[in-house]
Amino acid sequence: MKILIARLTLFAITTLSLSHQAAAEDCIPCHREKTPAAVRQWETSAHARAKIGCEKCHGSNHDKIVKGEAKVDMKVCGPCHQKALREHKASRHGMGLHSGWGCTRNLTNRDPGECRFCHEEGSSAPLSGVQCARFLKQTSEMGEIGCNYCHNVESSCASCHTNHNTSLAIVRDPNSCAKCHMGPDHPQWEMWQTSLHGTLNATAGISTGPTCQTCHMQQGSHNVSVGITMSSGGVPYPSKQAEPARKEMLQVCGQCHAPEFARKELARGDAVRSQSLAIVKEAEKIIWDLYDHGLLDPMPDQRPDHPLSGKKLVTDNQMLYEDTSHIERLLFKMKKYDYARTIKGAYHQNPAYTHWYGNAELKMDLVDIKAEASRLRERGKTPAAGKAGNGSASEEETLRALKSKVERGAMSEEEYAAEKKKVLERLK
Amino acid sequence: MPTYRHCRTFTIASMLVTAVILAAGCARLPVSGALPVGVAVARVTKVEAASPFAWDPGGTKIALVSGSFAIHDPDADNSLPLGAVPSAVAWSPDGDHLAAAFPHDKDATLRIFNTRGALLSEADISGHVTKLAWRSEDELLVAAVTIDQLSFGADIKGVLYRWKGIGKPAATTLTETTVRPFIARWPLETLYHTFTFALSPLGDEIVYTRLQDPPAFSPYVKICIRNLGSGAEQEAAIAAVTSAGAVYSADGERILYGDGANASHWLDPWMGKELATFPTPGRTIALSPGNRYALIDGRLYRDGKEMVSFPATSEGAFAPAGGRLLLRYGGNLYMISGLSEPETDKKVPAGSERLLTLRKWRSEGLISVPDYQSARERMPLQ
């Protein structure tokens, strides 16, 4: 009997001692065994200290949780973290899924023609299953790890904060950003690491060397897009939008640097950006000209359909790196990798990324594209050699090219009419 | 939109008149109105009802079915027999070759003969042939209809074959429609009639009929223009299924089509502009080479005015050289002569290659209709 009383007393003491942590949770005893890491992280989190238990975020329907249907996304975090949610939604992170596979209407400086990716003309109802072209080309497994693991930043706070740990030390470390902001397309993490900012951070500490968060998440703001003057594809914003953003960034830089120094640094980045964009546009023009003359190999109508645009040539943000022609694949690398590295390298004050990994590659891409274009044009002449004297065939090709240009807005109706008139006069 | 009821009433009335005349055993062509001075009608020979017939380009020989298929010389009144009964015939532009389609089961055999009756080439194709036309000396166009009966109706397909006289004819499906059961039960000849074409005088385009069977509405045909060079198509008009379809004007710029119910229309298909109408539904249509004469549902028009009329079910063909009209009615073939036509009526611009190029570009929208018209007007007439 004494032993039984002693055991009951011990149980009562243990239960009471845990109650301040578990807040009457039934989950902990079992999950300490099943998911010990999650429990350990929660126990040391701000949530535990504030008595925010499992059910508050996960709900109480265990079946749903097990099936993965009770996701803890920003709708769950938002009601308590309203300021953070507001800032996040106003930022490019808040459009992560949109830019990946959702509606782009709220993105700045977007081509209205992009609406066709998701909507029938004139309809606001989304087409079922229409998403990002590159995402749609993936297997589901590849899409999950290769696309969604970064683009789910829109709706998942855990994308940066991790699941159960609320330590700010984690999200204030540039390694948190590196998961996505690295690699060939936008290596901001590497650029920062090997820039003077990164070197000072590594050697003299954060008081001297700023991190990603220092400049892009001032005072813990979740709006990572403050001070940015271009779209995610590197297209400069119109001045009405760019000028206030530039003021914001100058304010950020001004916390350490003289205003004139900061202004010149950013202005130099602008110049590099416009020069680099001109190189990309030159290459893009070459490819459209080849397309107009039916010289891409293969042409869009001779290869698997583009998931969103079918048999049309696509060189905008939805362009693909697979099921395309070699010269388009060169343009893809040029735009997505080398142009991005040049301009982001310039704004992150990284000489090697701006020049060797960026601008030099960009210029060599143009050399490759021109050479490939010459080859395609030369080859295009060969089968047509027999019809060298056939004026109408070449005039027809000219007309097709003109029509294609006017249809995509690269030529005005007036210019088109004038050029067409010349063709008709030449026709013998 | 012509209704099925209109078409049916007209057809029944025509059949009654035909039956009465046939019952009387009449071998004389019934004529309403006075024949103009110089115009004469003469019986050529007996022919099979609904059988094909065609003038040779020189207007001296006729391919027809009189007991058997034959080349008939009306002046010498003799015939060169060629065998079985074809469903369609056509002379090559130079008159050296005669093409004929011979049906068997659901399919057909195409044969090409020379003027001495020797078989030069043959090929088998699927479907029942409704029309033949030579695009050039080397290329034959063939319209064929296949009908697959289904538990819920029938699948009717119109196929255009292009045959060079050797090898297998190349097929392009121009129309395919699944029709409702009550249409699937129509007589085969009526279903075959829903797909036919006419070749433009320049040989670059066809105007053809495409059957449509929308739910809750009467079936009808679309009259479509297809450029054979580009494959580009445009819808020109709609008509009842009893329409004869359309024929081209001598310059290839306009079409004359029957709406199958009320009237026949001269149409500029590119401008969508109606130019003239005839108050007869256009279930049979023939045009003279210079377009001065039109035979529509047995009514013979000259310069748009009705001269004289024959039975509505009679079918005609003008001699390519002009001046004469063959008319099949009641198991007999008649010749109407004395239909003079000025040479100027047949003029088209010189430089046909350039004209064909312009027409192809117009079909694809590479140049606008005004661009085309302006360029064409600058070309001299030949």
How many residues are recorded in chain B?
382
Alpha-carbon distance of A281 to A405, in angstroms, equals 15
Tokens (6 digits) for B162: 């292009």
Contact B375/A427, CB-based, under 8 Å? Answer: yes
Alpha-carbon distance of A397 to A380, in angstroms, equals 12
Chain centroid to CA A390: how far? Answer: 49
Please name every residue paired with B209 in a beta bridge, in sequence order, or none if there are none.
Answer: B223
Report the percentage of chain A scoring pLDDT > 70: 83
> DSSP state, A220?
G
At B42 the pLDDT is 93
Average pLDDT per consecutive 10 residues, chain B (382 residues; last block may be shorter)? 50 50 59 90 92 93 94 91 94 95 95 95 97 95 96 94 95 95 94 96 96 91 96 96 96 95 96 95 95 96 94 93 92 93 62 88 94 87 63
How far is residue B139 from each of residues B94, B181, B230, measured CA to CA in Å?
A: 12, 37, 17
CA atoms within 13 A on the CB side of B277: 10
At A151 the pLDDT is 85
Structural domain spans, chain A: 1-55, 270-426
Of A396, A400, A424, the CB nearest to B371: A424
Report the percentage of chain A scoring pLDDT > 90: 61
The chain A residue lying nearest B366, using CA atoms, is: A399
The chain B residue lying nearest A399, using CA atoms, is: B366
Task: Tell whether A130 lies on the interface with B, counting CB pairs under 8 A.
Answer: no
How far is residue B215 from each of residues B178, B181, B210, B220, B342, measured CA to CA in Å?
A: 11, 12, 16, 12, 49
Note the CATH number of domain B4-345: 2.130.10.10
pLDDT at A299 over 70: yes
Contact A424/B367, CB-based, under 8 Å? Answer: yes
> DSSP state, B137?
S
| Cβ proximity of A331 and A283 under 8 Å | yes
Q: Which residues contact A95 (CB under 8 A, 6 or more apart)?
A: A104, A106, A107, A154
ipTM over 0.90: no
Phi, psi of A154 (to 5 degrees): -60, -45
Contact B367/A420, CB-based, under 8 Å? Answer: yes
Tokens (6 digits) for B110: 């195409």
CA atoms within 13 A on the CB side of A168: 7
Contact B366/A399, CB-based, under 8 Å? Answer: yes
Testing the interface with B: which of A387, A420, A425 to mutate, by most B Cβ within 10 A? A420
- Arithmetic mean of pLDDT, A297-308: 91
How far is residue A428 from each of residues A390, A424, B350, measured CA to CA in Å?
A: 10, 9, 12
Peptide bond into B311 cis (omega under 30): no
- Arithmetic mean of pLDDT, A237-247: 94
Contacts across the A-B interface (CB distance below 8 Å): 25
**In A, which residues are within 8 Å of B371 by CB distance?**
420, 424
At A18 the pLDDT is 46
Per residue in A246-285, pLDDT (tens digit) is 999 999 999 999 999 999 999 999 999 999 999 999 999 9
Contact A403/B366, CB-based, under 8 Å? Answer: yes
At A153 the pLDDT is 87
Higher pLDDT, A132 or B210: B210
**In A, which residues are within 8 Å of B357 by CB distance?**
392, 395-396, 427
The chain B residue lying nearest A407, using CA atoms, is: B366
**In B, which residues are within 8 Å of A400 by CB distance?**
366
Look over chain A and give the mean of its residue pLDDT values, rounded to a whole number.
Answer: 85
Of B357, B365, B374, the CB nearest to A427: B357
Residue bearing tokens 């199958």: B260
Of B354, B360, B361, the CB nearest to A428: B354
What's the gap in Å between the CA of A400 and the closest CA on chain B?
7
Domain A270-426 in CATH 1.10.10.60? The answer is: no
Higher pLDDT, A23 or A104: A104
Structural domain spans, chain B: 4-345
Contact A392/B354, CB-based, under 8 Å? Answer: yes
The chain A residue lying nearest B375, using CA atoms, is: A424
Of A392, A400, A420, the CB nearest to B371: A420
Contact B366/A392, CB-based, under 8 Å? Answer: no
Alpha-carbon distance of B168 to A3, in angstroms, equals 102
- Arithmetic mean of pLDDT, A228-249: 93
Task: Tell whether A399 lies on the interface with B, counting CB pairs under 8 A.
Answer: yes
Work out the pLDDT band at A101, boundaries 50, 70, 90.
Answer: very low
**In A, which residues are within 8 Å of B361 by CB distance?**
396, 399
Contact A392/B375, CB-based, under 8 Å? Answer: no
The chain A residue lying nearest B356, using CA atoms, is: A392
The chain B residue lying nearest A394, using CA atoms, is: B357
Task: Tell whether A418 lies on the interface with B, counting CB pairs under 8 A.
Answer: no
Task: Tell whether A398 lies on the interface with B, counting CB pairs under 8 A.
Answer: no
**In B, which residues are within 8 Å of A424 by CB distance?**
367, 371, 374-375
pLDDT at A408 over 80: yes
Task: Tell whether A424 lies on the interface with B, counting CB pairs under 8 A.
Answer: yes
**In B, which residues are within 8 Å of A393 by CB distance?**
none
Tokens (6 digits) for B148: 């697959």
**In B, which residues are within 8 Å of A406 by CB distance?**
none
What's the gap in Å between the CA of A419 and the closest CA on chain B?
11
pLDDT at A214 over 70: yes
Alpha-carbon distance of A201 to A182, in angstroms, equals 18
Alpha-carbon distance of A301 to A299, in angstroms, equals 5
Contact A400/B366, CB-based, under 8 Å? Answer: yes
Per residue in A192-209, pLDDT (tens digit) is 999 999 999 999 999 999
At A24 the pLDDT is 39
Task: Tell whether A301 lies on the interface with B, counting CB pairs under 8 A.
Answer: no
At B294 the pLDDT is 96
Contact A400/B371, CB-based, under 8 Å? Answer: no
Testing the interface with B: which of A301, A392, A398 to mutate, by most B Cβ within 10 A? A392
**In A, which residues are within 8 Å of B353 by CB distance?**
392
Contact B367/A400, CB-based, under 8 Å? Answer: no
Q: Which residues contact A45 (CB under 8 A, 6 or more apart)?
A: A164, A165, A166, A167
Phi, psi of B236 (to 5 degrees): -105, -40
Higher pLDDT, B222 or A155: B222
Contact B375/A424, CB-based, under 8 Å? Answer: yes
